[in-house]
Structure 1
Amino acid sequence: MSQAVRTVPCPTCGAAVRWEPASQFRPFCSERCKMIDLGEWASETYRVPAQEESPDSEIDPSRYS
């Protein structure tokens, strides 16, 4: 009994990508889409939200005693 191969949309262009070992660039459909995504991260178009950390001078040293 064979299983159906799952498909996912390419994050860059939306094309259907088969989720299997033969899909060399998964989740991307091609090297081109993979490199476009990498370029977006490198140019800081994509960002991961983070909370601002307080500088070390504001840390109370007695907390660690």
Structure 2
Amino acid sequence: MAAMLLAGILGIAMGLNITATYMASGVAFVAVSLWVDSRISRRRNAARRLAAGDDAAPGLDINTSKHEG
């Protein structure tokens, strides 16, 4: 919802009409919702694999860099 509000404020500040601002807000809402859903499902899958005893399972900290070194 915050992304939707921010997109609406930015759309009005840029001088977009009401329809364009509404569409931008909707797109921002969907994009953030899909991103959050992806993060939640990755954490759940990692926790499920870890609970099953999979030694190759990645840690629960999804933010760690895959390219260390």
**Normalising by the residue count of structure 1, what TM-score does the alignment of the two structures yield?**
0.28
Greater per-residue strand proportion: 1
Taking CA–CA contacts closer than 8 Å with sequence separation of 6 or more, which of the two structures ends up with the larger relative contact order? 2
Greater per-residue helix proportion: 2
